[in-house]
Amino acid sequence: MQELLGKIAALDPDASLGIRVIACFDELIRGNVNSRALLSTAASLAGCPAGLTVSEPRRTMRMTQHGDLLDGGPPTDVFSYELPAGASVWLERTGSPHANDAIIVERLALAVGVRLGMERRDLEPSRDLGTTVDPERDPIERRAAAERLGLTAGRKYRVLAAPLFAVWTSHPSSASDVVSTAHGPIHIVVVDAAADRLDVRPSGAGTAVGYDDLDFSFRTAMVALQLCDGEREPYVDADRYTGIVELLAEAPERRTGPDVHRMADVMTHSWARPTVDAILDAPSVRHAARLAGVHHSTMQSRLDCVAEIMTFDPMSGYGRIRLGLAYLQHRLATSRVLDLPAPAIR
């Protein structure tokens, strides 16, 4: 528990407590912790006792914010959340509920429900922004959710995706939420495609789309986010890599073929990253040398090395496409941008 709380402390200090609550319980769900740990976390976050009741087998558990079990049943006046099959969770606060009690109880209920074998999709409350980026939702449902958010037909929007520990220079007033993904909870924002790029590190911006296709923009934003690389490339726009990101976003599985394995061999060279970047951005070897800040002959020898390892000419038409695709696939396969940072040593 202390390790988890330390990790949560590494989140953006300007992030709301609600964001921290979501991050905390998502980590607990992924760790498959027991009910006692879930209650202890909820009580600690709320600063008051938390409890649960399940029907089969019938049992009640109550926990203080200090991690101690309480005897007996709950008080009559609790802030509760009902789950299917007769289960429920609650907070035992004296006086009026605090601002974040609702999100704490909601995420506690989700975590307890998942532990009891219930489907997460059935438990998680439906929110409009999450609906607009969910490809499994009916298109009419997605459109209605977008319109409730104030989005309009005929305008272009982008989804910006960032981990919960991202640092925001400023927080936008546009629609934002936290959604669950295969990579954990992700903070998303929908912005006007013509607006200035938000300075959020790390983050990925999706392709510009109408509000009917925000689910696609979200998928490309997730690929762009995973292409971020520390201070070298703290944020990535899907437009930077055009159609390749769109192909990767639509791929059902990220299988790595021979080109990707060979690219891993290329990347063992210290000069590989800036060299491949230059090759992909330049129309000629001389131009690539200028971009990389090396002599033409040095770039040519590096290019020959890349060609030998990859077994094709990376400067030819389709060779350049193969190189670019293998390069981005390698970066996705080795991405660590979504790893929760270790807490700072004080």
- Asked whether residue 47 falls in the same domain as residue 119, the answer is yes
- Asked whether residue 63 falls in the same domain as residue 94, the answer is yes
Are 128 and 178 spatial neighbours (Cβ–Cβ below 8 Å)? Answer: no
In total, the chain counts a number of residues equal to 346
Owning domain of residue 200: 128-250
What pLDDT was estimated at residue 13?
54
- Asked whether residue 72 falls in the same domain as residue 88, the answer is yes
Q: What DSSP state is assigned to residue 314?
A: T
Is residue 93 one of the residues assigned to a domain?
Answer: yes
Sign of the torsion angle spanned by Cα atoms 220, 223, 228, 233: negative
Is residue 52 one of the residues assigned to a domain?
Answer: yes
pTM attached to this predicted model: 0.76
How many structural domains is the chain composed of? 3
Please tell me whether residue 330 adopts helix, strand or coil conformation.
helix
How far apart CA 133 and CA 128 sit, in angstroms, is: 9
**Which residues sit opposite 339 in a β-bridge?**
none
pLDDT in tens, 272-295: 999 999 999 999 999 999 999 999
Is residue 342 one of the residues assigned to a domain?
Answer: no
Is residue 168 one of the residues assigned to a domain?
Answer: yes
Residue type, 86: G
Choose the final residue of a domain: 123, 140, 166.
Answer: 123
Q: Please provide residue 54's backbone torsions phi and psi, each rounded to the nearest 5 degrees.
A: -125, 155
- Asked whether residue 111 falls in the same domain as residue 161, the answer is no
Choose the final residue of a domain: 230, 250, 270.
Answer: 250
- Asked whether residue 47 falls in the same domain as residue 136, the answer is no
Is residue 340 one of the residues assigned to a domain?
Answer: no
Is residue 341 one of the residues assigned to a domain?
Answer: no
What pLDDT was estimated at residue 55?
84
Instruction: Say which CATH number the domain at 69 has.
Output: 3.30.450
- Asked whether residue 113 falls in the same domain as residue 224, the answer is no
- Asked whether residue 238 falls in the same domain as residue 269, the answer is no
Choose the final residue of a domain: 81, 108, 123.
Answer: 123
Give all strands (DSSP E) within the chain, no chain letters. Answer: 50-55, 58-63, 69-70, 79-82, 88-91, 157-163, 167-168, 176-181, 184-192, 200-201, 203-205, 235-237
- Asked whether residue 212 falls in the same domain as residue 277, the answer is no
- Asked whether residue 158 falls in the same domain as residue 183, the answer is yes
**What does the pLDDT profile of the chain (346 residues) look like in tens digits?**
455 555 555 555 545 677 778 878 888 888 889 999 999 999 999 999 999 999 878 899 999 999 999 999 899 889 999 998 889 999 999 888 888 898 899 999 999 999 988 877 677 666 799 999 999 999 999 999 999 999 999 999 999 999 888 888 877 778 888 888 888 889 999 999 999 989 999 999 999 999 999 999 999 999 999 999 988 999 999 999 878 999 999 987 777 899 999 999 999 999 999 999 999 999 999 999 999 999 999 999 999 999 999 999 999 989 999 999 999 999 999 999 988 665 555 4
pLDDT in tens, 13-31: 545 677 778 878 888 888 8
- Asked whether residue 6 falls in the same domain as residue 67, the answer is yes
Is residue 346 one of the residues assigned to a domain?
Answer: no
Are 229 and 337 spatial neighbours (Cβ–Cβ below 8 Å)? Answer: yes
Q: Would you list the DSSP string of 1-64?
A: -HHHHHHHTTS-TTS-HHHHHHHHHHHHHHTT--HHHHHHHHHHHHTS-EEEEEETTEEEEEE-
Is residue 344 one of the residues assigned to a domain?
Answer: no
From residue 154, alpha-carbon distances to 106, 138, 193 in Å are: 36, 20, 12
- Asked whether residue 136 falls in the same domain as residue 210, the answer is yes
- Asked whether residue 116 falls in the same domain as residue 149, the answer is no
Q: Chain-centre distance of CA 101, in angstroms?
A: 24
How far apart CA 145 and CA 286 sit, in angstroms, is: 51
Buried b / exposed e across 184-221, counting CB within 10 Å, b at 16+?
bbbbbbbbebeeeebebbbbbbbbbbbbebbbbbbbbb
Provide the 10 A C-beta neighbour count for residue 83.
20
For 147, residues 6+ apart whose C-beta sits below 8 A from its C-beta are 211
